[in-house]
Amino acid sequence: MTLEILTSDSLGDVTHGFFTRKGGASSGVFAGLNCGYGSSDQHDIVKINRTRVAQAMEVTPDQLVSVYQVHSPDVVAVEGPINGQTPPADAMVSKTPGVALGILTADCQPVLFADPNAGVIGAAHAGWKGALDGVLEATVDAMEAQGAARADITAVIGPSISQRAYEVGPEFFEMFLDHDPEYARFFAGGDGDRMQFDLPAFGLHRLREAGVGTAEWTRHCTYSDPERFFSYRRSTHAKEADYGRLISTIRL
């Protein structure tokens, strides 16, 4: 099966892709293109999957760079392949041609950034915690430090969990209101004391407040499309032992 790569016209000629689970070598609950070394999938199989992604991005496997994601607002500047221990962070920026930035997700937002005029790209993993703590703004700041102009930055949110699938409790809701009462607009009423949180809308809000020129979501829900996407929450509801990780990549 061939790889399925979702792209955004807004990113223009910048090489990028939100990869679905199709076209990989993994099996079982990981069936397809599982790119997460942090999963319990076989390391060699994940390596095969990541090599296929690198080939699709026209880079060598070591030029497909990722970080040890920890739901933080931390960003690293990437100049080439990372040798040694992978740094803990949740976003990367680069102005080095031939380096592909790779973000792993399974419901959280993968966000790809580009200022083609300045030749600067970025990629961020933004779950609710990272987004609330400022990882998207930090990525824009780091791109500016590399020479980008925020008004020229396009940011695209890839496949993420949608509001209808993201049920949360009152403590979660109150935590967001403690940050800003205006954040109530990202929640809808659910059953009993449950609420439905709109993660992509929150991500778009934070990006637009950060002053990027263009911000959009591809409108793919990871939870609702098991044929194409891995989903942490769906796997949890199904009581599966583990789950695969999707990869989203961008390069100059």
In a domain, residue 170? The reply is: no
The first and second tokens of residue 233, run together, are 């929450």
Structure confidence at residue 84 (pLDDT) = 78
Within a domain: 179: no
Task: Give the pLDDT score at 118.
Answer: 98
Residues (pLDDT < 70) of the chain are 1
Which residues are CB-neighbours of 146 under 8 A, at least 6 positions away? 77, 93, 94, 95, 118, 120
- Which of helix, strand or coil describes residue 34? coil
Alpha-carbon span 180 to 101, nearest angstrom: 32
Domains contained in the chain, number: 1
Residue 109 is assigned to a structural domain of this protein: yes
pTM comes to 0.97
Closest residue by Cα to residue 199 from 158, 139, 247: 158
Q: Label residue 23 exposed, middle or buried (CB < 10 Å: 0-12, 13-18, 19+).
A: middle
In a domain, residue 171? The reply is no
User: How many residues in the chain?
Assistant: 252
Q: Which of 147, 160, 77 is nearest to 111 (CA)?
A: 160
Residue 121 lies in a domain: yes
Q: What is the CATH number of the domain that holds 24?
A: 3.60.140.10
- What is the reported pLDDT for 24? 97
pLDDT 10s digits, 164-221: 999 999 999 999 999 999 999 999 998 999 999 999 999 999 999 999 999 999 999 9
Residue 193 lies in a domain: no
Query: Is residue 39 domain-resident?
Result: yes
Judging by DSSP bridges, how do beta strands 214-217 and 154-157 pair with one another?
parallel
3-state class of 110 per DSSP? Answer: strand
CB 244 within 8 A of CB 26: yes
Phi-psi region of 107 (alpha: psi -120 to 50; beta: other; left: phi over 0): left
Residue 76 belongs to a domain: yes
pLDDT at 85: 83
Residue 181 burial (C-beta neighbours within 10 Å; 0-12, 13-18, 19+): exposed
Q: Token pair for residue 57?
A: 């991005």
Token output for 142: 């780091």
| Helix orientation angle between 199-209 and 135-145, rounded to the nearest 10 degrees | 40
Query: Containing domain of residue 245, as a range?
Result: 5-162+198-251
